[in-house]
Structure 1
């Protein structure tokens, strides 16, 4: 068991709670994105024990964040929403140079790569124009609700491992985010079961697709990933506030995010 994955999972879980932030982006920052994709694909292979040793502690960290830190994250967003979002912007900006270095873009990127980068950036950035719906949480469960929760889990987990695309944001757009948080916050077992099945199915399907493209179109996929990450900055950007003190805090937290991203990148890649 790779127990250090618990803290990685906590960071991914925190990001998955927040609409606009992607757990896949955090996996990229931590330098475990490709390994995560390989591990999910390897669960059904002969080396399943090795891959479970990677995934179980990571999953425990995600669950720990979802069930214990959700209230704290909600409090921070109620009181300092802009500042927390600027912190995430710093984290994302800090990882971009590492992605560019890994892709060796100066020698490997051509017109098609830059086209993929541009399209991915525009695709993610365009989600910033969608407003949160007024959907109410579903608290009564029947066959229709179970199907909706399964599909919601599938949708959220598919986006969860794509850098830049927030599963929580997609749930907001389809009106299922309040129900998603209700089921998690109140530990509603009859709702958690179809949700968990949908999440598991989505992870398996999407990871196979991503693995195929990383194996056959590595640099094109990295151009796409970098575009998704850059586009997420537009989605997260909250604008500045009338208060000078709060704006100074926001700018300072960009610096903190940059420092943490570089520090995590060095630490993880050394390991």
Structure 2
């Protein structure tokens, strides 16, 4: 077993609780993004045994973070929102130079790649200002239609989790499901967790194969889209300009995020 993946999964699990921060971005920072896609895709093939030692510790780490820290994340976002968001803003911005170097932007990007990059930035910037018109209300027992809705929401969110720059939690927020999901995790509402979780698993299988195919056959275009999504996620994470005594605290948490990205990235 690759026991290092316990802490890697824990870090990814934390990020997937935050609207605006992608688990895929954290996987990039940790240097395991390509391996993650290969492992998820390969797990559902004849060579599934080769990927068990990678995926099990990663999954345990992610699950532990989501279960143990859902209440803490709720608290931090409610009472220390700006400082928390600036920390994750540092993480997101810190990964951009790494991705540009990995894609060798100066050498490989042409006009069409920059067009795709800026379109993805615009898409995320637009989504940052989008507000959900309604919030899913869970009253009484789950109906079949509710289960289908939660399943599809989990599917869409999981596809976002694997793409650096798009947050699965943010997709749930746009769909009006995020408060329901966080409450279910905090209160161990197993039927809701199972419905969303099933969608997440199916989404992981489908999207991992799709992203791997795109990276293999259209690497420069895919990297252009990923870099654009990461830059665009800055608009999602940015909580606004802090005021008063918060300015210094937010600056410290932002620098901490940059430092952690640099520290982790230098080891991989």
> Which TM-score bucket, shorter chain as reference?
over 0.9
**1:16–1:252 Cα change, 3 Å:** same
Instruction: Report the Cα offset of residue 134 of structure 1.
Output: 4.9
Confirm whether residue 257 of structure 1 aligns to residue 261 of structure 2: no
Distance 1:261 1:206 in 2: 25
Distance 1:62 1:153 in 2: 16
**1:133–1:177 Cα change, 3 Å:** farther
Aligned twin of 1:144: 145
Q: Given that residues 24 and 163 in structure 1 are in contact (C-alpha distance below 8 angstroms), is that contact kept between their aligned partners in structure 2?
A: yes
Q: Given that residues 137 and 182 in structure 1 are in contact (C-alpha distance below 8 angstroms), is that contact kept between their aligned partners in structure 2?
A: no
Aligned twin of 2:166: 165
Unaligned runs of 5+ in 1: none
Aligned twin of 1:188: 189
Instruction: Report the Cα offset of residue 152 of structure 1.
Output: 1.4
> Within 5 A, what are the aligned runs for 1:109-128?
109-128=109-128
Q: Given that residues 133 and 172 in structure 1 are in contact (C-alpha distance below 8 angstroms), is that contact kept between their aligned partners in structure 2?
A: no
* Segment drifting more, 46-55 vs 134-143: 134-143
Aligned twin of 2:154: 153
Distance 1:10 1:188 in 2: 21
Unaligned runs of 5+ in 2: none
Aligned twin of 2:103: 103
> Within 5 A, what are the aligned runs for 1:1-271?
1-139=1-139, 140-243=141-244, 245-267=245-267, 269=268
Q: Per-residue displacement from partner, 1:202-251 (whole Å, max 9, x unpaired)?
A: 011111110110010112111111111000011111112331x2111111
Q: Given that residues 20 and 169 in structure 2 are in contact (C-alpha distance below 8 angstroms), is that contact kept between their aligned partners in structure 1?
A: yes
Distance 2:35 2:138 in 1: 36
Distance 1:241 1:212 in 2: 42
Q: Per-residue displacement from partner, 1:3-25 (whole Å, max 9, x unpaired)?
A: 11111111111111111111111
Q: Per-residue displacement from partner, 1:147-200 (whole Å, max 9, x unpaired)?
A: 112111111111111111111111111111122122222222222222222111
Distance 1:211 1:181 in 2: 30
* Segment drifting more, 143-152 vs 201-210: 143-152
Q: Tell me, what secondary structure is at the counterpart of 2:19?
A: coil
Distance 2:232 2:209 in 1: 24
Distance 1:21 1:218 in 2: 23
Distance 2:5 2:151 in 1: 27
Cα RMSD (Å): 1.4
Instruction: Report the Cα offset of residue 131 of structure 1.
Output: 2.0
Distance 1:106 1:113 in 2: 11
TM-score scaled to structure 1, two decimals? 0.94
Distance 1:98 1:173 in 2: 29
Q: Given that residues 16 and 22 in structure 2 are in contact (C-alpha distance below 8 angstroms), is that contact kept between their aligned partners in structure 1?
A: yes
Alignment coverage as a number of residue pairs: 267
**1:202–1:136 Cα change, 3 Å:** closer
Distance 2:253 2:148 in 1: 41
Q: Tell me, what secondary structure is at the counterpart of 2:88?
A: helix
